[in-house]
A = this chain, B = another copy of it.
Amino acid sequence: MTHKTISILGGTGKEGSGLALRWAKAGYHIIIGSRSLERAQQAAAEINSQLDIDTARGMDNESAARAGDFAVLTVPAEAQMATLEGLKSALAGKILVDATARVDAKDPKPPTGKASARMAQDLLGPEVRIVAAFQNVPAHALKKLDHELASDVMVCGDDPEARAEVVKLAEAAGMQAYEAGGLDNGIVIEGLTALIIAMNKRYKSKTGGIRVSGIVK
């Protein structure tokens, strides 16, 4: 089986590096992208060391975007647009997974207006197939590789083939995933982050998540 290459833009943070670790373990080739080449290479080296492999690499975000079959954006919400600017040609023809959730952990409120992923689509144009996913996967749980994640992934995008590909990526990372309609639906998953934070606070939990029920795939 030839595995494809996944570039994680902003992949040095907890969520990006956690996803990268799980995908690397599943056999995908991983490129960690960062504004800082040095930090990207360091994060890749940690994955190689943890899994005893040598295929994970670190690059600046634009090189990572060019080199990957898929790109996954896991930067803080306030860095989303700045990170994507200038990546239009690097990402053309590819699937970009946008995990951005515009929810402030200290003052959690549902975002208003367009979905983050729709804003990315407006910026990057129709040549990039954008899918919203992984907005509220608990980052701390991703690195516990033997743990099943107690949180499902709803995958929103306008291109059915791209949605289906991202469902496969989520499954490869050990999550249950479901196609959940068009790109604009992504704002609901962003907003769920605010409710999960509120429930964690109310019930003194750190592991709140959402599961889909009643659907057989």
Residues of A bordering B, CB below 8 Å: 108-110, 112-113, 138, 150-151, 154, 156, 178-182, 184-185, 187-189, 191-192, 194-195, 197-200, 202-203, 205, 207-217
Contact = CB atoms under 8 A, between A and B. Distances in A.
A102 to B, nearest CB: 13
State the main secondary structure of chain A at its contact with B: mixed
Given A209-B214, A213-B209, A195 B203 contact: no
Contacts of A187: 110, 191
B214 A198 contact: no
24 contacts: A108-B181, A112-B112, A138-B214, A156-B195, A178-B203, A179-B199, A179-B203, A181-B194, A181-B195, A181-B197, A185-B195, A188-B191, A188-B192, A188-B195, A189-B195, A191-B191, A199-B212, A200-B215, A205-B216, A207-B214, A208-B212, A209-B214, A210-B210, A210-B211
A216 B181 CA distance: 30
Given A112-B113, A210-B210, A198 B216 contact: no
A215 B207 contact: yes
A185 B179 contact: no
Given A110-B188, A112-B112, A200-B215, A180 B195 contact: yes
Q: What 5 pairs between A and B have smallest CB-CB spacing?
A: A181-B198, A207-B214, A188-B191, A180-B195, A150-B213
